[in-house]
Amino acid sequence: MSEFNKDDYLNDLPDADDLAASSASSASAPSDGGAGAAKPATEGETPAQAADSSQAPSDEGAAEHSEAEGEKSADADDTLTPLGKAKKEAAEYLEALQRERAEFINYRNRAQKEQERFRQHGIIDVLTALLPALDDIDRIREHSEMDDSFKAVAAKIDKAFEKFGVEKFGEKGEEFDPTKHEAILHKPDAEAEKETVDTVVEAGYRIGDRVIRAARVVVASPHN
């Protein structure tokens, strides 16, 4: 065995300054496989564009993410028990049934309103056609005696219109109302304190709040 020489061993050790410089160089240079390594710029591309392209997710990655979400939803359904699947289907059927029921109720209400409107139009058409005959019956009642047979016919006509909601109005002595009375003549009256119906020339008819024909009257007005 050769004899150990202390001076030769110390001379072979690397210099401390060289070790420090080598360590600093290794720390500042990023490795090629590092996650934060910047993508080298290609020809015609600036370093900033290269950095952005390296950070932007690819379309393939987005598609894979969406597909993964769909698979998760499908997997969630697959994990349901048969009872859970049955409850889910029952809830969906119930929701659809409730929507159909609401649509049917709306349709039924619209149909009923249309039916009532057509019914009123039919009654109004018949009433308008019979108004001259009804006016003649009223004049006969007022100015002459009616035999029993004629009275019976007139009463049947009145009851028929009452059945369909037709109301006859206009009476002597009631207060004049321009919304339901048509004044064909105003005559001064010293005893009148306000405008009142003095004579009903033709009776008025209405269905509910709808006036079919205003009562044509002579109005007694206060004497000024």
Kindly state the average pLDDT of the residues 66-77.
60
- Whether 183 and 132 map to the same domain: the answer is no
Report the DSSP beta bridge partners of residue 42: none
Task: Give the residue from 141, 164, 187 where a domain finishes.
Answer: 164
Distances in Å between the Cα of 17 and the Cα atoms of 9, 13, 20, 27 are 18, 12, 5, 16
Report the DSSP beta bridge partners of residue 206: 167, 211
- The answer on pLDDT for 220 being more than 80 is yes
In a domain, 192, yes or no: yes
In a domain, 16, yes or no: no
In a domain, 208, yes or no: yes
- The answer on pLDDT for 109 being more than 70 is yes
Write out the residue range of the structural domain in which residue 172 sits: 167-223
Task: Give the residue from 164, 187, 209 where a domain finishes.
Answer: 164
- The answer on pLDDT for 51 being more than 60 is no
With beta carbons less than 8 A apart as the criterion, state whether 173 and 195 touch.
no
In a domain, 19, yes or no: no
Return d(Cα 150, Cα 136) in angstroms, integer: 12
Q: What is the pTM of this model?
A: 0.53
Return d(Cα 206, Cα 224) in angstroms, integer: 34
Distances in Å between the Cα of 118 and the Cα atoms of 64, 114, 204 are 62, 6, 22
- The answer on pLDDT for 53 being more than 60 is no
- The answer on pLDDT for 204 being more than 90 is yes
In a domain, 70, yes or no: no
Task: Give the residue from 118, 136, 164 where a domain finishes.
Answer: 164
Residue 194: which CATH number? 2.30.22.10
1-5, 29-33, 126-130, 146-150 — most confident range: 126-130
- Whether 125 and 181 map to the same domain: the answer is no
In a domain, 35, yes or no: no
Q: How many structural domains does the chain have?
A: 2
- Whether 122 and 141 map to the same domain: the answer is yes
Model pLDDT, residue 71:
60
Instruction: State which H helix or E strand residue 201 sits in.
Output: strand 196-202
User: How do strand 181-189 and strand 215-222 relate by DSSP bridges?
Assistant: parallel
- Whether 202 and 152 map to the same domain: the answer is no
